[in-house]
């Protein structure tokens, strides 16, 4: 599971989800932007996961 292909797919999915969240989420004035914020945080988590996996694979720790 922790290989380069999974890391690249994770980064691509995170970028796609970030783009989709920013473009297609409407801001409701009555909410605290919870759906908007969770989409952004989830996509950033996927990007960071992919970067960490690639870093650990390069350094030989994984």
Q: Collect all residues with Cβ–Cβ distance below 8 Å to 17 and sequence separation of at least 6.
A: 39, 42, 43, 46
Predicted pLDDT of residue 36: 74
For the chain, the domain total comes to: 1
**Residue 40 belongs to domain spanning:** 1-59
In tens, the pLDDT along 4-20 reads 899 999 999 999 998 88
pTM: 0.79
- Per-residue pLDDT reduced to its tens digit, 20-43: 888 887 666 566 656 677 788 889
Nearest one of 7, 14, 17 to 47, comparing CA atoms: 14
């Amino acid at each position: 599971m922790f290989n380069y292909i999974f890391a690249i797919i994770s980064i691509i999915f995170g970028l796609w989800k970030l783009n989709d969240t920013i473009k297609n989420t409407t801001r409701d004035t009555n909410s605290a932007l919870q759906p908007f914020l969770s989409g952004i945080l989830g996509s950033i988590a996927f990007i960071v996961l992919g970067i960490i996996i690639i870093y650990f694979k390069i350094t030989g720790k994984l």
